[in-house]
Structure 1
Amino acid sequence: MSQIGITYEQYLRLKANDGSVFAELYQLYRPLIWKQFRQRPKELTEADWRQEVSILLMKTAKALQPTDYRAFTKYFQTACWRRIYRLKQQSINYHQMIVPLENQTVEEILPLGGGHHLQLIERLLNIQWSTKQLTIAQQNLLLLSVAGYKGTEIALILNQTVTQVRTNLMRIRKKLRRAD
């Protein structure tokens, strides 16, 4: 009979940081590990992913109670997915174009031969100019919204009601659309 998930003994050995259990778990979770690896960013090598997997195995074992060892596979799968997602996001953020916009014209910013970025840079300058026209309170609200905070969290941070936050965000978006 083939093994479906981690056994209690393997779990205890992993939690005790026994190095011999890693080879067994690599073999057991091989399909799961390499399925996630196929979604990797280009910069991630196989050796790096093996090291990430070792760390994830240890962290998953430490996060679970001994009575919950049967849930290890699902937790490990989720941890692998999250790690790949974060690595992809870091890769995307790393490759984004960073443009200094302080008191410069588009022509000053553009490097020689960079004309294909002209529309993007003009739009960025336009958005920056538009956001500078907002009040400081509106800029803070927009910053929190862009950072990913929910309306209720923003309301708690800014000491406002959720309705006020939604209304103010709607007004800010309307101003930015008009300027764009």
Structure 2
Amino acid sequence: MTNDTTSTSHDEDNTTDFGFSRVNRGDKAGMVRGVFDSVAGRYDLMNDLMSGGIHRLWKRFTIELSAVRPGQTVLDIAGGTGDLAAKFSRLVGPEGQVILADINAAMLTVGRDRLIDKGATGNVQVVQADAQQLPFDDNSIDCITIAFGLRNVTDKAMAMRSMLRVLRPGGRLLVLEFSKPTSALLGKLYDQ
């Protein structure tokens, strides 16, 4: 006999977050792909409108925290339209490398085209990759960023393990993501 608590717990193990909903783990990747396929060309504009442009300041702060230097290798996961990759391209210089990685082909197409328009192609590689199973060598990346992308990953723990596997000892992993504030005052503003 199966008790209801065990059944409910097992059902919850097979679900994950998708926006404000819980969905079957097996369905999430397709749902995320559908969203980004439909918005790829307008993604940056949507970010500007939804954040009031603040996402650009947060990304600038992320770049400053990265402490990336010439000659280093940077992996920008869920980098889609390539805004961070273009900035990192200048920082690592011609002897460095930036890898723009995203699971979504439509986003990568937009990113590749924008990088070409900005002339940032000599040291940037565009790779379709799943954050949960990164196709890079162990200890090969100096800095990894994922900006507003971790929420779209089905198995976040698996993705974090994959990132840590490819990160060099002493490297930096920077995750830029929304979270609910713990401060009561900030919490009230957040809920507004």
TM-score calculated relative to the size of structure 1: 0.27
TM-score calculated relative to the size of structure 2: 0.25
Larger radius of gyration: 1
Q: Which has the higher strand share?
A: 2
Q: Which has the higher helix share?
A: 1
